[in-house]
């Protein structure tokens, strides 16, 4: 069941790449395992998946601990409180949800040297929603310059979670704005290589506009069930 869903998502990504005239290896699947048991992550790893995304720190740390025997790559994709940066810096390979300098500085200071630089994407609030995390597009160039200069951070690119939208043309228009922002940053920061955008409902549009990581939960694992309402994500 999980194996079938995994194959079908991989196929969907390959088809989207083909339709966009891109190579299939230009797009990485990040399996979003929030609310899912460690055993489901293990099953998906058995199917060949190595990169997993988590939103809730304590839940993630428990899973990372339980799955230490597997060579997994962990990506933090949820909102970050500044007093919770240390375990993120110590336990993750990537953080997609950095939206202010204070958080990036703490992650850089707290990153253990032995682990090498932490890969970072800046989260941009591309739909301009008040309630969403992410910095405003006009704040991105300065923040990117400052974050790129931090010692234990490797700035990789941008992450966006657009407002839910079912019309493919409008999905694409929003992702195109993220891509254009990235292109303008690359003039000064040519090392940027990652656009983290596209979820279960809009991965084709994201891939058409240049996504290099798609973050997929529901299409892999089925609908999420939250243990309590306070655990509901902001995104």
Ligand X SMILES: *Cc1c(COP(=O)(O)O)cnc(C)c1O
List contacts with ligand X (CB under 6 A): 32, 34, 55, 77, 161, 199-201, 215-219, 233, 235
Name the minimum Å distance from CB 116 to ligand X. Answer: 24
d(CA 28, CA 24): 9
Name the minimum Å distance from CB 80 to ligand X. Answer: 12
Name the minimum Å distance from CB 202 to ligand X. Answer: 9
Q: Which is nearer to ligand X, 68 or 229 (CB)?
A: 229
Nearest-CB residue for ligand X? 217
Q: Which is nearer to ligand X, 179 or 215 (CB)?
A: 215
Query: CA dist 18 to 15, 22, 25, 101, 154, Å?
Result: 5, 6, 11, 38, 30
d(CA 150, CA 113): 13
Alpha helices in 47-148 (DSSP H): 57-66, 85-91, 101-110, 140-148
Do you know the residue count of the chain? 235
d(CA 125, CA 132): 7
Q: How many Å from the N-terminal Cα to the C-terminal Cα in the chain? A: 26
Q: Which is nearer to ligand X, 88 or 219 (CB)?
A: 219
* Listed residue (168, 180, 215, 176) closest to 196, CA to CA: 215
Name the minimum Å distance from CB 3 to ligand X. Answer: 18
DSSP secondary structure letter of residue 98: E
Q: Which is nearer to ligand X, 210 or 217 (CB)?
A: 217
Helix/strand/coil for 26? helix
Q: Which is nearer to ligand X, 110 or 133 (CB)?
A: 133
β 153-160/194-196 pair status: parallel
Residue keyed to tokens 């090498």: 116
Name the minimum Å distance from CB 190 to ligand X. Answer: 26
Name the minimum Å distance from CB 52 to ligand X. Answer: 12
Q: Which is nearer to ligand X, 77 or 118 (CB)?
A: 77
């Amino acid at each position: 069941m999980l194996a079938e869903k995994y194959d079908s998502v991989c196929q969907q990504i390959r088809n989207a790449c083909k339709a966009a005239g891109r190579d299939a290896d230009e797009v990485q699947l990040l399996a979003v395992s929030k609310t899912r048991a460690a055993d489901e992550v293990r099953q998906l790893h058995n199917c060949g998946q190595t990169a997993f995304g988590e939103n809730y720190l304590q839940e993630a740390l428990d899973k990372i601990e339980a799955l230490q025997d597997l060579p997994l790559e962990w990506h933090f994709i949820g909102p970050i409180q500044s007093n919770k940066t240390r375990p993120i810096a110590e336990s993750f390979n990537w953080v997609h949800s950095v939206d202010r300098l204070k958080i990036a500085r703490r992650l850089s200071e707290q990153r253990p040297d032995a682990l090498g630089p932490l890969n970072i994407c800046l989260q941009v609030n591309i739909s301009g929603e008040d309630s969403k995390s992410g910095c405003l597009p006009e704040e991105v160039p300065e923040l990117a310059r400052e974050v790129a200069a931090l010692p234990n951070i490797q700035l990789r690119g941008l992450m966006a979670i657009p407002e839910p939208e079912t019309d493919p043309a409008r999905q694409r228009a929003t992702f195109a704005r993220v891509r254009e922002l990235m292109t303008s940053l690359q003039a000064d920061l040519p090392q940027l290589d990652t656009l983290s955008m596209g979820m279960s409902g809009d991965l084709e549009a994201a891939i058409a506009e240049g996504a290099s990581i798609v973050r997929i939960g529901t299409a892999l694992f089925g609908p999420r069930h939250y243990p309590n309402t306070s655990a509901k994500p902001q995104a």
